[in-house]
Amino acid sequence: MNAAGKIIDRLWEDRDAWLDGSAQRAFVAITALLSAGLLFTAKGISDIAFGLLVIVAFWRFFVAGDGVGRMWWALVILASVVIPALSWTFTFLLYRDWAQPYPNLDLMARLLIFLPLAWALAGSSRNVLLFWGVAAGAVVLMPWTMGEGWHDWARGFSGDRVHFNLRNEQHTAMFLGVTLLGLMSFSARFLSNAGSLFSWQAVVYLIAVVLCIAGLAVTQTRAAWLAVLLSFPFFLYAIATRWRGQYHGHADAQQRGLTRVLSLGLVGALVMVLALIAVVSDGRDIAERMRGDSVAISQLLAGNGDSMTVTSAGVRITAWKASLEWIPRSPLVGWGSGGGRIVLENTDSVPREISQNFGHLHNSYLELLINYGLLGAMFFAGLLAWVVINSWRAWRRGWLEGDFMLFLGAFLMFFLVINFFESFLFYSTGALVHNLVLAGFVTHIWRQQRATCTQVPG
């Protein structure tokens, strides 16, 4: 094997020939790492690399994807296009004035981008961790590569709400929250390789954790704070049941030491979260928002929902209330990809200020039901159920390591909670997080299916 081949073997594992030779493996590795590493630095290059990666991996998946149910997944992809087409057709035929000029068929299909990504990862835990690690590094460096660096931090800790020039604070908090949970889930790997808490690996790891926590604080996104705190029981359970790192033949003494470090780290992280939230909560932005939200909630409890104050909580409660009135009117297929706009613009109780400034419902689950009805909701629920059930089976059978399963539980709690307060699934940012994370689990599931022949026929 020549020197280039050895470098590729060290960079990107492919023991079972998922990819077609060294050249394709090198292409996949380079495009994967470029798309993740330049996510917040050179978006244009990242998007091009990501698109090329998806095209090549999709082609290879359908050419050589034996043992993972290619025909079944082809039907799933078809369903992701047919459901939006049915929704648009219903609205176009019965309410033509509300229908969009043509059906938007990509919003559900893009939730399946994890399929080619999973194939590109070739069933390798090392590839997954490298891919996720590069993406996590991009998130941690986002304040400097995309935002205004120390100036943003200074503004944040003086009470302003900052988002480092991403779409808005909620989307920034989503990336930081997922990255924090990943760092915590795989902490034993970082610290076991570090040797001591003063080695460079441990220092880099701790700096990354602190930056994620501080970033979550200055975004002042209460939904993300809640989601992170609700994810903590998974880590406490992992410690109690000795999940946290029984892999790669570590000695029992080392495992006990890692458990103590992880336990202290979790307690310290929780204290830091609470302390930073307390500091930032004195800021003017969040204080004003909380006062406004309390007025809106008081109006709702008093039965004055139709004249609710336009605040963060007020907008959400108004949109949710309106959507619940519209779901029974088209429960099976919804109203098409513009369903949120239809609801807000054609509900008398929605203030003009809200209908003119918002076109979505601030809740992914209501958005699914409004846009695509029960068919769309079942599609998404079925995807998640398949991933969770098969990841659990892979873990029980030894194909998925314990810290991966820990991350899956914490991530799902976080992601499901924040999607209750914002329609992340209908934004490119939310779809990106969904696909990057799910790909890491699906590649392990397929690795087990190919090895044990428990797959769906196809």
pLDDT tens for each residue of 34-82: 999 888 888 889 999 999 999 999 998 888 777 788 889 999 999 999 9
Q: What range defines the domain where residue 320 resides?
A: 285-365
- What is the chain's mean pLDDT, rounded? 84
> Read out DSSP for 157-192?
HTT----TTSS-HHHHHHHHHHHHHHHHHTHHHHHH
Q: Alpha-carbon Rg of the chain, whole angstroms?
A: 23
The pLDDT tens digits for 336-359 are 988 999 999 998 888 888 888 888
In a domain, 358, yes or no: yes
In a domain, 246, yes or no: no
Contact 176, 216 (CB under 8 A): yes
Contact 205, 265 (CB under 8 A): no
**At a CB cut-off of 8 Å and minimum separation 6, what does 99 contact?**
88, 91, 92, 336, 338
Place 198 in a pLDDT band, splitting at 50, 70 and 90: low
C-alpha angle 29-68-74 in degrees, rounded to nearest 5: 95
The phi and psi torsions of 213 (rounded to 5 degrees) equal -65, -45
Q: At what angle do helices 169-185 and 402-421 cross, to 10 degrees?
A: 160
Q: Phi/psi class of residue 99: alpha, beta or left (left: φ > 0; alpha: ψ in -120 to 50)?
A: beta
Structure tokens at 325: 């009135």
For the chain, how many residues are written? 458
Place 5 in a pLDDT band, splitting at 50, 70 and 90: low
Measured CA to CA in angstroms, residue 442 lies from 132, 388, 454 at distances of: 14, 10, 14
Asked if pLDDT for residue 11 goes beyond 60, the answer is: yes
pTM: 0.89
Maximum Cα interatomic distance, the chain, rounded to a whole number of Å: 75
Asked if pLDDT for residue 335 goes beyond 90, the answer is: yes
The pLDDT tens digits for 273-316 are 665 656 555 555 565 666 655 666 666 655 565 555 667 788 88
Contact 450, 68 (CB under 8 A): yes
Domain count, the chain: 1
Q: For residue 184, which of 76, 264, 240, 283 has the smallest C-alpha distance?
A: 264
In a domain, 406, yes or no: no
